[in-house]
Every structure is written in structure tokens, then in C-alpha cells.
Amino acid sequence: MAAQFTLPKNPLYYLLILVPIAIIAELSHASPIIVFLLSAGGLIPLAKLIGEATEELAIYTGPKVGGLLNATLGNAAELIITIFAIQAGLLDLVRASITGSIIGNLLLVLGLSLLLGGLKNGVQVFDRRTAGLNATLSMLAVMGLAIPSLFDHALIENPNSELLFSEGVALIAIFVYALSVLYSFTSGKTPISHDHADHNHVADSHAEAGQVVTREPAPVHVARWTVRFSVIVLLLATVGTAIVSETLIGAVEPVTQQLGLTEFFLGIIIIPLIGNVAEHLVAVQVAIKNKMELSLAVSLGSSLQIALFVAPVLVFVSLLFGQRLLLVFNEFELVALFAASLIAAFIALDGESNWFEGAMLLAVYLILALAFFFLPASAIVPHP
């Protein structure tokens, strides 16, 4: 059957009407709060379109090249938003959004997936070896982001050393990320791929442990779009994301002043939700369908993309705008990162999940969100 030139029937795409409205509101100098809300709503379907077009292209290119596409474009919307934030000099907002994206995936997305998937299907199983590898890599990625922060006090008197240290850590992180992509080419499994998992491998691993697991045939993916249409959608969605991101970032400072919110709270809670909500929904939906391998790949894989690819790339992108984005996070961010990665690793150890584990993850995320909401701006020491 030939691929169709029709958008999927997803309610999120009705929000595309907000894109031109947000642009008009910006040009007509409407209230910054209105511009911010319209831009935030418009970015959600644009991020979904980027992900949808990437998935369609992955069907034509095959699993290996498709995994590479997912690895590089999986967080394109988040990357574009933060680039405009760097251009505006909102470096603390960028660092907060990096932290927020990681803890959002490890606590909020994984928590919702386990909760709703567990309520629908009971105890869910997954390959603990693959999940354990992903969780371990998440902890190592968080450690890589934390080390420059811990050593910054000793290097702060020498700005050149600070920058070179962050650049060195960024290069190493990108190299590790490249190795994970290479690993996917040789093993067929990767923490940064969102492809459907090998259900037979999961069944075999649990059968060895004496558990009865029903084998399901691997799903067959059929392209709904042509290659040309997918590329056009990808380009248009990327351009639209860039335009709307600029209007969103331009409204950040007035919004924080008028609503009494801190820039830190917007960066660590609100911005990550806007850029990743479409991907979040995918992880929850597949968990409800009892496809926990894919759900874990989305939640853990997205956090790895942010820590090992997006954050390091932003270090070098900042230099193009005459800025110095250092991988230096405050103590509140470090506590949140370590807590999220540690809890996610513990949950992945036994290869099983239930709704109560999801509820616990959500509780930790809500506690952190409340703490960040009430955290005064004076408690956050800005870094140059």
C-alpha cells in the first residue's frame, strides 16, 4: 500500500492553529503572558511533527540508520529552544532546562508509564540486562555533568580553565554517545533508539528465570508518509519550531516578572514539559499497551540524549553566540539529578515494574517541583 499524504489523527495536531496565532500576538505586541502560553501550546504539535517525520524516515532507512536518526533528532525541539535561550543570554535557564529534561524523563515520564501501565496490565516485565545497561549509562551521564560542578570552585579563579574543562567533558560525553550509537549497530539494542524491542529476547530472559511469558509477534511497521513528504514535514516543523521558540524565549523575562515565577522554575519544570510532552505521551501510551521495553527506551533514551548529546553540543553552540555555557550546575540541580538517576536504576534492576513504583517516582518529582517552585531567586547563585 502506498504511503499517504495525510497527517495522523492525533488531537495534538489541532494545536497547530496556535502557531500563527502566537506569531501574530508577538507582532502585535500582545501581553507577554499570552505570547508565552500561545507559543508553548504551538511548540507541542511541532515537536510531535518532528518526531513523527523522523519515525517515518526511519522506516525507509532501516533500523540502524533509523536508530541514528532517532539519536540525533530525538530532542530536536528541546535543542532549538535552548539555542534561542543561549542567544538571549539566558544561560541559567538553559542549564535548568537540561536538568529538568533529565529528571522529567526519569521521574515524571517513567513514573506515569509505570503507574498507568501497571494499573492496566498488573506486573510488567522487561529485559533487565538492557534496562540495567541503560540505567547505568544514565548514572554515568549524570556523573559526567556533575564533575565539572564539583570542581568548579577550584577553577573559578581561572575562567579559561573553566571553559576548557567544560569543553573537554563535552567532547568526552559526545564520544561516549557516539560509542552508544556504534553499539546499536553491532548489537541491535541501544539505549538511545526508540525502536520496538525484541520481544523474543525478553521472553527468553524471563523463561530462564522460570517465568511464563507469552510471545507476541514483532509488530510490522508500515510507512504512512512518503520520503519526500516526511522530509518536507521535518523541514517545515523545524523552521516553525525555530520561529515559535524565539517568541517563547522573548517572553520569558516579562512572564517571570508578571507572574512572580523564577527563571529557574520555568527552565527546570515548564520548558522541558513544553519541548518533550509529545514524546512523553508516546512512552505512556506504549506502557499502557504493555510494551515496557519501548517505554523504557523512550524515557531512559531521551534523558541520555540530553545528558550525552544535547548538553555537550550546547557548550560549543554557545561559543558561536559569544556566550560561555559551562556545565556547572547548582547544588539543587545536582541533588535532583543524582536522586532521579539512582531511583530509576533501582527500579530497572529486577526487570519488573508495578504501579506502586510509578507512584513513588511521581511523588519524588512532585516534591522536587514544589521545592523548585518555592525556591527564591536569591538562593540560586548565577554562574557567569
The answer on pLDDT for 101 being more than 60 is: yes
Residue 107: its pLDDT value, please? 92
Cell of 372: 523548585
* Res. 26: pLDDT tops 50: yes
Q: Residue 227 above 60 pLDDT?
A: yes
| Mean pLDDT lowest among 41-50, 220-229, 327-336 | 220-229
Taking only the tens place, the pLDDT of each residue in 44-92 is 888 888 878 887 887 787 666 665 676 567 678 888 889 999 998 888 8
The residue ranges of every structural domain in the chain are 11-378
Work out the number of other CB atoms within 10 angstroms of the CB of residue 183.
Answer: 15
pTM flag (> 0.85)? no
**Which residues contact residue 64 at a Cβ distance below 8 angstroms, ignoring those fewer than 6 apart?**
184, 185
User: Do the strands 124-125 and 352-353 form a parallel or antiparallel pair, or are they unpaired?
Assistant: antiparallel
| Tens digit of each residue's pLDDT (9 = 90 or more) over 202-214 | 444 443 334 444 4
Distance CA 186, CA 205 (A): 20
Confidence of residue 196 (pLDDT cuts 50, 70, 90): very low
- The DSSP call for residue 204 is H
CATH code at 11-378:
1.20.1420.30
Find which of 182-186, 222-226, 259-263, 265-269 is predicted with most confidence, using mean pLDDT. Answer: 265-269
Share of the chain above pLDDT 90, in %: 26
